[in-house]
Copies of this chain bind each other. A is one copy, B any other.
Amino acid sequence: MVDVKKMFDPALMSYKPPKSTPYAGWGAPGAIKLGSGVPDPQYYPWKLIATLAEEALEKDYQRILSYGMPQGFPELRAWIAEHSEKNDVEIDPGQVLLCDGSTEAMSLVAKLLLQPGDAMVMESPSYSGAVSVFQTCGAHVEQIPLDEEGIDIVLLEEYAKKRQNEEKPLKLAYIMPNYHNPLGTTTSVKRRKELVELAEKYEFLILEDDAYIEFIYEGKRLPSIQSFDTKGLVIYTSTFSKPLAPGLRLAWITASPEITMALTRVKGAFNMSASHLGQAIALAYCKEGHMYEHIEKMNKVYKKKKDLMLSALEEYMPEYVTWTKPSGGFFLWVEIEEGKIDGIELIQETKADVSYRPGDSFYIEEGEGLNKLRLCFTFETEENIEKGVKILAEGIKKLAK
């Protein structure tokens, strides 16, 4: 027998899923789902999507159904360029690249920048999808903790300085400044500026992942990290997955003309272009004003759910449990005092009734974060949010040492 496994990419093969994976509750039938970061499915604008698809096809089917440019539809890129003004960024449609979801945006950046052994940093914790993308590309990934303002800038500088003297200096920092996944917290404006200064000083690039920016429940939109960048060192990505629908797999990147062009080449060589039908739907959805309307509606729904989850936590959790209080986004982050429970036991205890994302998914070091959990407050009904938190609290109390 031929051993094909020995031919497989060693970085992929050596990637170990989080310790909790074999135990995780991905949603038993009937279980309350606080795990995945998914919009409220009742509100998907499916009728509108069907209508926009039909209208777009009627007007423009020859373009939509054929091959096209890797960079994406010019009108959609123009809309995104204009929309970027909300982030205090002035860019040209030529600096926008459409791609098949934010995960692909990261993958394209990884493919362009990270050779095996190259160094990058991410926050600790950081988005589980990013942990998997960057680890399976064979790069050396370092996680750096956050303080109240965002990624710890002193530790980041120490690391950047240390790598300067090595063969492979730091190349990339992956940062999620708004409504962080999994934390729900937001990076301060001061820290955003410091990040750009550090990138200039140590010559690394920043990948700013802004997937949740439209979901603001309190406070106001802050200028993006990219808005402080004058040297073309920040690559920004955001997505239609949350303000429209994840199933369309559509996101975008904005960057310097040089980097956008290089990423477009990577995209073109990898899979040609993002789905045209998805682009056509997103274009009509944005241009006709449906997107901002939908966001406004959803933010009322989600703010209420977020407040409800916070109240439930307040009501049911014991005193050795703490959590973040997000002013936007989809998640909050729950920490159980170290040593109080066994994270795997908690999953097993509760998974028939409620699913959540175990904290170790957001760390590279095996088993780290098992006393933490990410809860999503957008997907479930209000009733189930309260019930789910209550079941979790009971499980924690039952298992606590």
Contact = CB atoms under 8 A, between A and B. Distances in A.
Nearest to A13: B262
Contacts of A112: 8-9, 12
Contacts of A44: 61-62, 65-66
Contact of A258 (B5, B12, B245, B269): B5
Contacts of A246: 65-67
A65 B53 contact: no
A233 interface: yes
A328 B248 CA distance: 33
Nearest to A60: B46
A116 to B, nearest CB: 8
Contacts of A276: 247-249
A154 interface: no
A294 interface: no
Interface in A284-314: none
A221 to B, nearest CB: 26
Given A2-B233, A54-B50, A248 B8 contact: no
Interface in A105-139: 107, 111-113, 115, 129, 132-133, 136
A31 interface: no
Interface string A1-31: 1101101111010000000000000000000
Nearest to A118: B7
Nearest to A135: B269
A271 interface: yes
A388 interface: no
Interface residues on A, range: 35 or more
Interface string A56-86: 0110011111111000000000000000000
A129 B58 CA distance: 30
Contact of A247 (B1, B2, B12, B68): B68
Q: Which of A49, A171, A245, A277 has its CB near the most chain B CB atoms (within 10 A)?
A: A277
A111 B107 CA distance: 12
Given A65-B247, A113-B7, A246-B67, A231 B2 contact: yes
Interface of A: 1-2, 4-5, 7-10, 12, 36, 38-39, 41, 44, 46-47, 49-50, 53-54, 57-58, 61-68, 99-101, 103-104, 107, 111-113, 115, 129, 132-133, 136, 171, 200, 203, 205, 231-233, 241, 245-249, 256, 258-259, 262, 265-266, 269-278, 281
26 contacts: A2-B200, A2-B232, A4-B256, A7-B171, A8-B112, A8-B262, A9-B111, A10-B115, A12-B269, A44-B62, A47-B57, A49-B65, A49-B277, A50-B50, A53-B53, A64-B247, A65-B245, A103-B269, A103-B272, A104-B270, A129-B272, A133-B269, A249-B271, A249-B272, A275-B275, A277-B281
Given A49-B57, A64-B247, A67-B247, 8 more contacts: A4-B233, A7-B113, A12-B262, A46-B57, A46-B65, A53-B54, A100-B100, A248-B276
